[in-house]
Structure 1
Amino acid sequence: MSDLQSKIQYSIEVADAPDIPGEGKPRRNVLCPDKLIIHPPNATTLYENFLHGVNEAGNGNFLGHREIQDGVAGPYFWQSYIEVQKRVANFGSGLSKLGFKPKGVLGLFLINTPEYIMAQLACHQYNFIAVPLYDTLGVDSIEYIINQTEMKCCLVTADKGRMLLNMKNKLPTLQTIIVIDHYDQEFTNLASSLNVKVLNFIVVERDGSVHQINAENARPDDVAIISYTSGTTGTPKGVVLTHKNIMANVASIRWLSEKGKCHLLSTEDVHISYLPLAHVFELVNTATMIYGGVAIGFYQGDTMKLLDDIAELKPTIFISVPRLLNRVYDKVMAGVKAKGGVAQWMFTTAYNAKKNGLDKGNVDHWMWDRVVFAPIRARLGGRVKVILSGAAPISTEVMDFLRIAFSIDVYEGYGQTENAACLTMSLLGDTSSGHVGPPQVCVEVKLVDVPDMNYTSNDKPYPRGEICVRGHSVFREYYKLPEITAEVIDKEGWCHTGDIGCWDDQGRLVIIDRVKNIFKLAQGEYIVPDKIENIYVKHELVHQIFVHGDSLQPSLVAIVVPDEGMLLKWAKQNNFGKKSFQELCGDPKVKKYLLQSLIKYGKINNLKGFEIIKNIHLTYKPFSISNNLLTPTLKLKRYQAKIKFHNEIIDMYAEIA
């Protein structure tokens, strides 16, 4: 890092903050130390945010999708901001004619589509409350959410609508389903037999256009969305977010952009929407895009075809989560290794040269960017200006790789649903990794001692503790759960995140642990499974891994999904005949080799003895959202994984014994 970079301070203690035993002083972004930003200019609510986008872009592209004919996706078809504005008003009016009143609940049970955004914007304009649903929560959770919110109407695709109809005997409040795509007569008959009204999105929109009902616009403190956290255990909690909560983060990004510390979004930008809109991370991303008049293109709905959508759309903004970015990293590195020879030498030389430049704050190289890294940039369409990683921790190696390979600004954000997705974010010009940047300018952050885990505000060289946040983006409450709300938001308004962090010497936040997502082994050692998994998943033969242990066992075991391509290649080189990937995963010799490799790999990467896995089980079926082992942002659901692999875990420990 350059001397200039190393001297920059990114956050500062709040002036005149009292000294309180057991906690550090609150810190704010050094660029805005005296106040917390509430909303961007001319937009205090999400509807006003949309109007700002309309004023910025007018007849410019807003929502784009690809028509599918005979299974083949065509070019993007676009609707302008002004066109969408009219459709939004008509749909909101149509909902009003169906009996919707301000603060009424509209369920959203569909993947990212233009209709999703239009329905959400109609909620913002008419002061309805959006409640996203996603089937990966599980049937029981969907039933719980619909009944807790007393949901009467839900916007769906036909497949999701059928799912709700099949559950209707457990959903007494559900009266109306609005479908965005085709449904047949059998679907209509089923709904009729259950006394559920079925309407088409276009019909509701058309009815709303006739003698349009005026909107009662939302106010900043009105509820915009109840976002249910999928979590990793238990019943989902409804996080109540107001318009002010979400707009505070839009304001923070915009404010920092205008100070030259983030990319300034404009009508020239294009965003690809594929992360679930049901999750607050993409919700806030979208709101931020809309304020700047950005064009938003949707993926087809199949992540396996995402690269094809990217090639067609050529986005300038790419927002992702670590599991996907890790795969980009893994595939590129595996490809380089497979080529070997001169190609590998050239890549390594170029990479090291740019890594040296990165340490000095540079992401460009006049020669290597053209000769070596251009094909990698082309994988994301060739026009990407900014990459943002969020929703989970990302390794320093992958962050460095993204900056080196794409020659662009790469940001890492940290946040939770409870603080509208973004609590801190790294800033433009900071090319170092291993931190998540300073606080957003809409919040202040402090660290509170966790004595049981030996984290205190007096720790040297850096103070450590539980991350607590206070400010305009902090959620109002958990829906109908006052006691749990009180456990998370204290009397002074501080939201306790459950994450452990420290301030580095430049006032940036570093996430180091989790208060609850840890466990003890039989000898009393604390285990942080995320950290261990993030190391093992970098092994070339590992696609996914779930590390498990508990206080009754002396060691760790793991469920491993091998990388299919790399395992098949290894098998061919080691005379395993023509065995399939599934057969290889069941072969004891393969398991023995991979276990020995992982033990060595753990030692090389400085894992402590008790952190090294002692047995593994191989499975050919990846962890996914559809099999309920990943959350919508692709985090591992530990509780569900523990249940699913219960027998395998018992067998692994029996083998060790």
Structure 2
Amino acid sequence: MNKENLLQIYASGFRKNWELPALTEFGSDQTMTYADMARRIAALHLLYEEAGIKRGDKIAVMGKNSFAWVVVYMATLTYGAVIVPVLHDFNVQDAQHIINHSESVMLFINESIFDSMEFEKIPAVKAVLSLDRRAVLAEHPVTNHAVEKFLARLPQKMRRRYPHGFTTADVDYPEIDESTLAEINYTSGTTGFSKGVMLTLGNLGGNVRFGVASRLHYRGSRALSFLPLAHAYGCAFDMLTPLAVGTHITILGKLPTPKLLLKAFAEVRPNLIICVPLILEKIYRNKLRPIIEKPSVRRALKLPGLKTLVYRKIRNSLVEALGGEFEEVIVGGAPLNHEVEAFLHKIKFPFTVGYGMTECGPLISYTPWRNFIVSSSGRTLPSMESKIAGSRNQETEPGEICVRGENVMKGYYKNPEATEAVIDAEGWLHTGDMGTISDRGIIFIRGRYKTMILGASGQNIYPEEIEAKLNNMPYVSESLIVERGKHLVALVYPDYEAMDRDKVHNEQLPALMEQVRTDLNRIVAPYERIDRIQLIANEFEKTPKRSIKRYLYNA
């Protein structure tokens, strides 16, 4: 695999794809070419120089996906500073803590978010700049408005620095060793404790080089970016990899509702779709399952000749709904519901499930859809190793999944104790996920180590596996399996949309849920049987990647 330095990949890529479209904001006629983007990156480099930003200084960015967000990230990376992405839906207190903990000296932010902040509570920040327009929102008194003054003169400074215009010859990024810190990404996981993951140029480069070598994106291909770019998954494969090869990225800067997503897919017709399970699960529940549950369709599915035709029609309609021109859909960020996965495989829908975590920037395993094994999470990357800790037979006996290699983080920022707790002396990262690994390095995940429940007779109970079955039951929108004393209890948020469709009233729910419990207990192991179902009034609180914050419900 090509080991070209990450910054040189971008330097040569921008030059090669100079006239091609790089970024478009969905719903507008604004498009930025690779030349435009490289020019704006150069302008930010000038601003950093004037503001006294040094290599290794931290620059925070907090806002919705946008042109400006991408430019700030790429400019910081190619300058040699450290980017600190802050998810835009973090609350203000958490955001201010992250900015302070990371020791960020400059902040780029959407003005609507900054309106709720208190500038005096982020004292290390020299200047706050808007992601919405060219403006300084706040500046530390000691700078004497230097950043604001320079920003006003930036166009003249660019003309003076590049008197013949900014050309491909001017794209020149520094040679920086790949062990150098490039990003601090603060996790927002299901365990409730946010840590600053230190990702090096080599960690990011490992993901990008694999994406390029696998032709996930290619010159002139189209991508629709709707996952948060502040999250490692969207960042690596909706931005960093496509920008390395000359892909045209359309940025969806709004909440990706099903209606808006389908409209965007139809217009953009992406060549690759990167998504989280929730999107396919909603399509299955709301669009596909009602079709296959129709009496006429159920009768047709019992006849071998018609069955093939029905599945082909469903597959073709789903492919067309997602734009019709993609090679595959890559699902990651959380486990995919088993029933949904099995049905998509049955109709030969081109999807695959990958596995990763922020600590690997994020990719650990992936297999192209044609070779994908259902219920797996793909094959361990060539640049990574994987093993099962605490297992006598890693192919059959679940244990903790451990990985090491090019993508594994440097550690947690200013937190050596947490680093030592997950990376052992031999360099193995203990993922906290339980599973098995085949002799070909294919990973099968059972559940989280921290959520595993020890049964009364010593059996390992994986709540995620029970929840996957329960979530497919009538009138169940989402669920959590928790331990209450010595009993297993299912917390259930009802599917009110299905209830309205079927004219089911709230007072009917207790009896319906008791039937659900009975049906569930017939298909799980005896030690996995649920003692009762407890209804909850509101949706479960979730992380930005739509995983339930389990720690809030374990008490």
Query: Structure 2 length as normaliser, TM-score?
Result: 0.88
Corresponding residue number in structure 2 for 1:57 = 17
Corresponding residue number in structure 2 for 1:342 = 296
Report if aligned partners of 2:301, 2:307 keep a CA contact under 8 Å in 1. Answer: no
Report if aligned partners of 1:555, 1:610 keep a CA contact under 8 Å in 2. Answer: no
Per-residue displacement from partner, 1:113-159 (whole Å, max 9, x unpaired)? 11111111101211111001125443343232111122221111111
For residues 398 and 53 of structure 1, the distance between their equivalents in structure 2, rounded to whole angstroms, comes to 38
- Per the alignment, in what secondary structure is the counterpart of residue 272 of structure 1? strand
Report if aligned partners of 2:222, 2:247 keep a CA contact under 8 Å in 1. Answer: yes
CA separation of 1:325/1:607 partners in 2, compared to 1, >3 Å: closer, same or farther? farther
Question: With CA pairs under 8 Å and 6+ residues apart, which has the higher RCO, 1 or 2?
Answer: 1
Aligned residues: 542
Q: CA deviation at 1:385?
A: 1.9
- Per the alignment, in what secondary structure is the counterpart of residue 439 of structure 1? coil
Corresponding residue number in structure 1 for 2:169 = none
CA separation of 1:147/1:377 partners in 2, compared to 1, >3 Å: closer, same or farther? same
Report if aligned partners of 2:489, 2:534 keep a CA contact under 8 Å in 1. Answer: yes
Report if aligned partners of 1:108, 1:130 keep a CA contact under 8 Å in 2. Answer: yes
For residues 640 and 196 of structure 1, the distance between their equivalents in structure 2, rounded to whole angstroms, comes to 45
Report if aligned partners of 1:141, 1:235 keep a CA contact under 8 Å in 2. Answer: no
Corresponding residue number in structure 2 for 1:327 = 282
For residues 427 and 160 of structure 2, the distance between their equivalents in structure 1, rounded to whole angstroms, comes to 45
Q: CA deviation at 1:407?
A: 3.9
Q: CA deviation at 1:634?
A: 0.8
- Return 138-147 or 235-244, whichever deviates more: 138-147
For residues 350 and 146 of structure 1, the distance between their equivalents in structure 2, rounded to whole angstroms, comes to 60
Query: Match of 2:158, as an amino acid?
Result: S
Corresponding residue number in structure 2 for 1:237 = 195
**Matching residue within 91, 99, 111 for 1:158:** 111
Report if aligned partners of 1:154, 1:177 keep a CA contact under 8 Å in 2. Answer: yes
For residues 364 and 241 of structure 2, the distance between their equivalents in structure 1, rounded to whole angstroms, comes to 15
1:271 aligns to 2:228 (yes or no)? no
- Per the alignment, in what secondary structure is the counterpart of residue 549 of structure 1? strand
For residues 150 and 279 of structure 2, the distance between their equivalents in structure 1, rounded to whole angstroms, comes to 33
Query: Match of 1:175, as an amino acid?
Result: K
Query: Match of 2:227, as an amino acid?
Result: L
- Return 324-333 or 273-282, whichever deviates more: 324-333
**Matching residue within 40, 44, 47 for 2:5:** 44
For residues 275 and 207 of structure 1, the distance between their equivalents in structure 2, rounded to whole angstroms, comes to 36
- Per the alignment, in what secondary structure is the counterpart of residue 152 of structure 1? strand
- Per the alignment, in what secondary structure is the counterpart of residue 429 of structure 1? helix
Query: Match of 2:543, as an amino acid?
Result: T
1:173 aligns to 2:111 (yes or no)? no
Corresponding residue number in structure 1 for 2:544 = 632
For residues 494 and 307 of structure 1, the distance between their equivalents in structure 2, rounded to whole angstroms, comes to 41
Corresponding residue number in structure 2 for 1:508 = 442
CA separation of 1:331/1:487 partners in 2, compared to 1, >3 Å: closer, same or farther? same
Report if aligned partners of 2:477, 2:495 keep a CA contact under 8 Å in 1. Answer: yes
Corresponding residue number in structure 1 for 2:82 = 129
Q: CA deviation at 1:306?
A: 2.4
CA separation of 1:254/1:396 partners in 2, compared to 1, >3 Å: closer, same or farther? farther
Cα RMSD over matched residues? 3.2
CA separation of 1:203/1:616 partners in 2, compared to 1, >3 Å: closer, same or farther? farther
CA separation of 1:204/1:117 partners in 2, compared to 1, >3 Å: closer, same or farther? farther
Per-residue displacement from partner, 1:30-63 (whole Å, max 9, x unpaired)? xxxxxxx5xx35x312x32323432453312211
For residues 154 and 351 of structure 1, the distance between their equivalents in structure 2, rounded to whole angstroms, comes to 61
Query: Match of 1:598, as an amino acid?
Result: V
Corresponding residue number in structure 2 for 1:430 = 371
Query: Match of 1:419, as an amino acid?
Result: C
- Return 233-242 or 135-144, whichever deviates more: 135-144
**Matching residue within 273, 283, 294 for 2:235:** 283
Corresponding residue number in structure 1 for 2:168 = none
CA separation of 1:99/1:270 partners in 2, compared to 1, >3 Å: closer, same or farther? same
Query: Structure 1 length as normaliser, TM-score?
Result: 0.75
Q: CA deviation at 1:181?
A: 1.6
1:602 aligns to 2:551 (yes or no)? no
Q: CA deviation at 1:351?
A: 11
- Per the alignment, in what secondary structure is the counterpart of residue 278 of structure 2? helix
Per-residue displacement from partner, 1:523-543 (whole Å, max 9, x unpaired)? 866542222222211224122
Mapping of residues 81-100 of structure 1, within 5 Å = 81-100=34-53
1:530 aligns to 2:464 (yes or no)? yes
For residues 547 and 241 of structure 2, the distance between their equivalents in structure 1, rounded to whole angstroms, comes to 24
Report if aligned partners of 1:106, 1:128 keep a CA contact under 8 Å in 2. Answer: yes
Corresponding residue number in structure 1 for 2:388 = 447
Corresponding residue number in structure 2 for 1:483 = 417
1:382 aligns to 2:324 (yes or no)? yes
- Per the alignment, in what secondary structure is the counterpart of residue 94 of structure 2? helix
- Per the alignment, in what secondary structure is the counterpart of residue 466 of structure 1? strand
**Matching residue within 392, 395, 403 for 1:457:** 392
1:316 aligns to 2:271 (yes or no)? yes
Query: Match of 1:240, as an amino acid?
Result: M
Q: CA deviation at 1:391?
A: 1.2
Q: 5+ unaligned residues in a row in structure 1: which ranges?
A: 1-36, 67-72, 258-262, 355-366, 450-455, 577-583, 624-628, 647-657
Corresponding residue number in structure 2 for 1:591 = 509
- Per the alignment, in what secondary structure is the counterpart of residue 153 of structure 1? strand
- Per the alignment, in what secondary structure is the counterpart of residue 486 of structure 2? coil
Corresponding residue number in structure 1 for 2:539 = 622
For residues 193 and 364 of structure 2, the distance between their equivalents in structure 1, rounded to whole angstroms, comes to 25
Report if aligned partners of 2:274, 2:330 keep a CA contact under 8 Å in 1. Answer: yes
Report if aligned partners of 1:376, 1:405 keep a CA contact under 8 Å in 2. Answer: no
CA separation of 1:211/1:529 partners in 2, compared to 1, >3 Å: closer, same or farther? farther
- Per the alignment, in what secondary structure is the counterpart of residue 189 of structure 2? coil
For residues 154 and 479 of structure 2, the distance between their equivalents in structure 1, rounded to whole angstroms, comes to 46
Per-residue displacement from partner, 1:271-307 (whole Å, max 9, x unpaired)? 1111111111111112222222111111131222222
Query: Match of 2:20, as an amino acid?
Result: G
CA separation of 1:334/1:463 partners in 2, compared to 1, >3 Å: closer, same or farther? closer
Report if aligned partners of 2:195, 2:413 keep a CA contact under 8 Å in 1. Answer: yes
Per-residue displacement from partner, 1:587-640 (whole Å, max 9, x unpaired)? xx3331232132123124324354425031232x333xxxxx211111111123
Per-residue displacement from partner, 1:455-476 (whole Å, max 9, x unpaired)? x2347x6354322111111111
CA separation of 1:44/1:564 partners in 2, compared to 1, >3 Å: closer, same or farther? same
Report if aligned partners of 2:435, 2:446 keep a CA contact under 8 Å in 1. Answer: yes
For residues 592 and 196 of structure 1, the distance between their equivalents in structure 2, rounded to whole angstroms, comes to 65
Query: Match of 1:63, as an amino acid?
Result: L
* Identity among equivalent pairs (%): 24
